[in-house]
Amino acid sequence: MGLMTITSPHAHGPRKTANLMRVVVIATLPGLFALTWFFGWGNLINVIWCSTVALLAESAILLIRKRPVSFYLGDYSALVTGVLLGLALPPLAPWWVSVVAVGFAIIVAKHLYGGMGYNPFNPAMVGFALVLISFPVAMTTSWAAPTHLLDNPMSFLDTLSTIFGFSTQSIDAFTMATPLDVYKHEISHSVAEDVVKNPVFGQFIAHGWEWVNIAFLAGGLFLMKKGVFTWHTPISMLFALALMSLIFGWDADQTTPPLLHLFAGATMLGAFFIATDPVTSAVSPQGKLIYGAGIGILTYVIRTYGSYPDAIAFSVLLMNFAAPLIDVYTQPRTYGYAKAKRGTKEAE
Amino acid sequence: MATSSYRDITLNGLWKNNPALVQLLGLCPLLAVTGTTVNAMGLGLATTLVLLGSNVSVSLIRNFVPDTVRLPAFVMIIASLVTCAELLMQAYTYELYEILGIFIPLIVTNCAILGRADAFASKNSILPSALDGFMMGLGFTIVLIILGTLRELIGQGVLFSGMDLLFGESAKSWQINVFSDYPDFLFAILPPGAFVGMGLLIALKNIIDDKLKAREEKNSAEVVTGSKRVRTTGTIA
């Protein structure tokens, strides 16, 4: 019998986890470059430090769980968690903040729930939210000022010794509140025209941050083109955030304007690299639309009415909670059935 | 349960049927006041006293209260004892009483107490009931203290702070600063830290139980000697 019929799907090029994760890491590089260009060496050091800690923590917990270490390290998922945390944490965050965030992300949020593919919450965001709640001082005063605004920007070695606590000099001269933070606090007793004179807003939207966000947007579009994720989650999230800020924040003299919402803070990083995590998001296209829109709406609500300037981590975690329920109600119609099985209803 | 030995009662209260780790009763105060060792100790002692008193009283009246109204009767007894404990704390440890606040009156609603009254004291004579109440209370207190100490250590980097609230002025010097220049780890001090800590303690207990069980099985597996047939599959029972 020399004839062999191969049925569909005629897929080729196995989509292994490792390949996907590697592409994700590569796609963060433009954003990392922009962060380093505008805010100094802090994020680059953080990314390297967080990745190292992530790989060590993953190896340790795999050994304790008696799982094959090299196999699971080879899927790069721990590396992605480390890189995302390195990008999200403030550039001058002390080394122990990163260690606590990464350690909690890998050990508690990922492995105590069963490891890769079983975690209900995005590990990187669990780690981020933990340190955000636990170390409010370190997490709000460690944002580096744009290097172009400083007379003597920190050198690589200065940054390194600041992060690892060898430097005795105060970092106050090198840090600045983030644009979202400044706008939120200034606008309550001022008008938009005066607020944007603050150098942190630069010439366009927010000094440096707009390029960082554009870089992450570019990386995200590259991932979308590669088919790593579909357009539903990020576009729905950005659309919901923009719509919310257009409806409720159209008056720039009252609240943060839409462009600042979209291009300052962690918006693009969150939309394309964090919300799209396949393990913790909703599954069906319709579900992803709801999931993404939920993150966008929550981000606007927490940024505007909450006490934290940025809200990506909290919104993503809250929608992680909701994802299983969304899945139950957005299950697509199974072929051969007249109607989809939604919720607890039986399919007909 | 009616004729369980004193050894079994002790073991049940402290380990096998620990109210906090196994029955998961009384979690509200357990999670709310375990921010420091001294708070945990204060609440644990109050709960133990109430448990001891309620078990003894319930055991005394067990033959005179009809089944249909037993729960209201038990709750009345517990509530009176909690009021006693509250007044005692108000008299002797006023600052601690202020800190623990609503959680002292809330001991009334602690299911561990009503649970023991209904499940044990109403079916047993006075001595076993007293021992059961004391051991359950002790088991609860120990878990409270472990959780309180852990949260204090991780949250603030100190041990045994403010012990003078319970043991008088001389206990002020008991405080140990484990780490110098420690940044407060707010997560451990806030309620979520208690949930995570509690989960880890339960996991630890289950691990120890599994290890003990495995060892017991290993020891009890007797090798049959002198038998003529050799089994190559399965285990020899």
Judge: B186–A133 Cβ closer than 8 Å, yes or no: yes
Interface pTM, i.e. ipTM: 0.75
Beta bridge partners of A267: none
Instruction: Report how far residue A186's alpha carbon sits from residue A189's, in angstroms, rounded to the nearest whole number.
Output: 6
Identify the segments of chain A with pLDDT beneath 70: 1-2, 10-15, 168, 345-348
Which residue has better confidence, B56 or A253? B56
Largest Cα separation within chain B, whole Å, is 77
Instruction: Report how far residue B188's alpha carbon sits from residue B196's, in angstroms, rounded to the nearest whole number.
Output: 9
DSSP class of residue A141 equals: S
| Burial of A331 from C-beta contacts in 10 A (0-12 / 13-18 / 19+) | middle
What sign does the CA torsion over B106, B108, B113, B115 have?
negative
* Confidence check: pLDDT of B2 > 60: no
Q: Domain residues of chain A, as ranges?
A: 17-177
Contacts of B185 in chain A (CB under 8 A): 100, 134-135
Whether A99 contacts chain B with CB within 8 A: no
Q: Which helix (H) or strand (E) holds B159?
A: strand B158-159
The pTM of the full predicted model, rounded to 2 decimals, is 0.84
Whether B226 contacts chain A with CB within 8 A: no
Give me the mean pLDDT over the B140-157 stretch.
Answer: 89
Give me the mean pLDDT over the B151-161 stretch.
Answer: 85
H-type helices in chain A, by residue range? 17-27, 29-39, 42-64, 69-73, 77-88, 95-103, 123-134, 136-140, 156-163, 179-186, 192-195, 209-226, 232-248, 258-263, 267-269, 285-305, 312-329
CB distance B144 to B37 below 8 Å? no
- When CB atoms are compared, the residue of B183, B187, B196 closest to A138 is B183
Whether B182 contacts chain A with CB within 8 A: no
Judge: A133–B190 Cβ closer than 8 Å, yes or no: yes
- When CB atoms are compared, the residue of A108, A134, A137 closest to B185 is A134
CB distance A283 to A329 below 8 Å? no
Whether A137 contacts chain B with CB within 8 A: yes
DSSP class of residue A65 equals: T
Average pLDDT of chain B? 84
Q: Which of B156, B180, B186 to mutate to test the interface with A (most CBs of A within 10 A)?
A: B186
Instruction: Report how far residue A244's alpha carbon sits from residue A293's, in angstroms, rounded to the nearest whole number.
Output: 10
Q: B37: pLDDT confidence band, cut at 50, 70 and 90?
A: confident
CB distance B116 to B138 below 8 Å? no
Instruction: Write down how long chain A is.
Output: 348
**What is the model's pLDDT at position B227?**
57
What sign does the CA torsion over B99, B105, B107, B109 have?
negative
Whether A100 contacts chain B with CB within 8 A: yes
CB distance A184 to A177 below 8 Å? no
Which residue has better confidence, B164 or A271? A271
Contacts of B190 in chain A (CB under 8 A): 133
Helices and strands (H, E) in chain B, number of each type: 10, 2
Instruction: Write down how long chain B is.
Output: 237
Judge: A134–B186 Cβ closer than 8 Å, yes or no: yes
Q: Domain residues of chain B, as ranges?
A: 6-209
**What is the model's pLDDT at position B1?**
46
**What is the model's pLDDT at position A313?**
92
| Burial of A339 from C-beta contacts in 10 A (0-12 / 13-18 / 19+) | exposed
* Confidence check: pLDDT of B3 > 60: no
Give me the mean pLDDT over the B158-182 stretch.
Answer: 77
Which residue bears the tokens 């088991």?
B139
- When CB atoms are compared, the residue of A130, A137, A138 closest to B187 is A130
CB distance B174 to B49 below 8 Å? no
**What is the model's pLDDT at position A238?**
94
Judge: B183–A137 Cβ closer than 8 Å, yes or no: yes
- When CB atoms are compared, the residue of A130, A133, A135 closest to B183 is A135
Which residue bears the tokens 């480390």?
A82
